[in-house]
Amino acid sequence: MNFNFKHEWIETNIGLLAVLTMLAISVGGLVEITPLFFIDKTIEKVDGVRPYTPLEQRGRDIYQREGCYLCHSQMIRPFRDEKLRYGHYSLAAESQYDHPFQWGSKRTGPDLARVGGKYSNEWHVQHLTAPRSMVPESVMPNYPWLKATPLDTSDIAERMKALRKVGVPYSLTDAEYKANVAKFGETVAKQLHIPNAQQSLIEQANFGNYDGDRSGISEMDALVAYLQVLGTMVDFGKYKDDAFVNDR
């Protein structure tokens, strides 16, 4: 078969070259951009997903600072072995307030998308301080300084303002606060209100006492609070097992 095609035709016709170049580039553009027009369709409609509270958000910052994501993913894939080990597959809706998301694909350690509530606070504290005292075969590093380092709570409002700019509904004005009350309920909305941020962080840390030490708020308090909320916001008991199958 010989199409007798000569690139000379294109190269010697500047108009045709311009049109074909634009076509070729627009394919790449369309593949990248078009799915974004449909992103709302792929975010499942579920109840319960809310932005992180100030304390959880600080824990998340520490999670990133310590590079936990280098060994732990937060993305349960829709496979039988993953469902049996970790629980329901992760929904897009569950990471809608994550900036940046922590999905990842590197699993030296287990997936953490639904680690919340699986172990006691005490286990997390001991395991983060000395992993091999709880899991003998673990290769995780020790993080003994988390419990010894007081949490810097002074800049939480600034951190939340930055996240608000990229679309997390932390409220700054009364109108935003009221919208949050309607959307998340009053208890949650109070914690998402930036003017109260530092106070609600301290209240949650003192009430939860995540690190088992009441003498102060440590980085361990924040990190354990974050770990304990992971994957717990959606009550999957409310949904049938094929509820999310048509979102893909």
Partner 1 sequence: MSEQKLQSQTVQTTGHAWDGDLQEYNNPLPVWWVYTFYVTVVFALVYWTIYPSWPFGKGWIGGLSNITYVNSDGETKTHSWNTRALLLEDMNRAAIAQKPYFDKVAAMSYAQVAKDPDMNGFILSAGKALFSDNCAPCHQAGGQGVVGFFPNLTDDDWLYGGSFDKIHETITGGRHGYMPTFSEVLSPEQIDQLANYVASLSGIGHDATKAAAGNVLFHSETAACYYCHGADAKGRKEIGSANLTDNIWLWANVPAASSAEGKVAAIRSVIASGLNKGVMPAWAGRLSPEQIKVLTVYVHELGGGQ
Binding mask 212-231 for partner 1 (x = CB under 8 A): x-------------------
Are 220 and 59 a contacting pair, CB within 8 Å?
no
- Of 93, 49, 112, nearest to 248 by C-alpha is 93
Binding range to partner 1, per CB under 8 A, among 16-24, 54-62, 72-80, 151-159: 72-80
CB atoms < 10 A from the CB of 132, how many? 12
Binder of partner 1 out of 9, 22, 35, 139 (CB under 8 A) = 35
CA distance 47 to 235: 8
Compute, in degrees rounded to 10, the torsion defined by CA atoms 157, 161, 163, 165.
180
Is residue 9 at the binding interface for partner 1, with CB under 8 A as the rule? no
Are 159 and 198 a contacting pair, CB within 8 Å?
no
CA distance 243 to 245: 6
Binder of partner 1 out of 120, 142, 149, 173 (CB under 8 A) = 120
Is residue 126 at the binding interface for partner 1, with CB under 8 A as the rule? yes
CB atoms < 10 A from the CB of 201, how many? 26
Binding range to partner 1, per CB under 8 A, among 57-65, 82-90, 155-163, 164-172: 82-90
- Would you say 76 or 160 has its CB closer to partner 1? 76
Q: Residue with structure tokens 């027009």?
A: 37
Is residue 41 at the binding interface for partner 1, with CB under 8 A as the rule? yes
- Would you say 127 or 193 has its CB closer to partner 1? 127
Please give the size of the binding site for partner 1, defined by CB under 8 A.
37
Is residue 130 at the binding interface for partner 1, with CB under 8 A as the rule? no
- Would you say 118 or 164 has its CB closer to partner 1? 118
CB atoms < 10 A from the CB of 37, how many? 8
Is residue 133 at the binding interface for partner 1, with CB under 8 A as the rule? yes
Is residue 239 at the binding interface for partner 1, with CB under 8 A as the rule? no
- Would you say 77 or 99 has its CB closer to partner 1? 77
* Helix then strand then coil, % of the chain, to nearest 5: 55, 0, 45
Q: Is 129 left (phi over 0), alpha (psi -120 to 50) or beta?
A: alpha
- Would you say 50 or 124 has its CB closer to partner 1? 124
SS3 of residue 193 by DSSP: strand
Is residue 186 at the binding interface for partner 1, with CB under 8 A as the rule? no
Binding site for partner 1 (CB under 8 A): 8, 34-35, 37-38, 41, 77-80, 83-85, 87, 89, 117-123, 126-127, 133-136, 212, 237, 241-242, 244-248
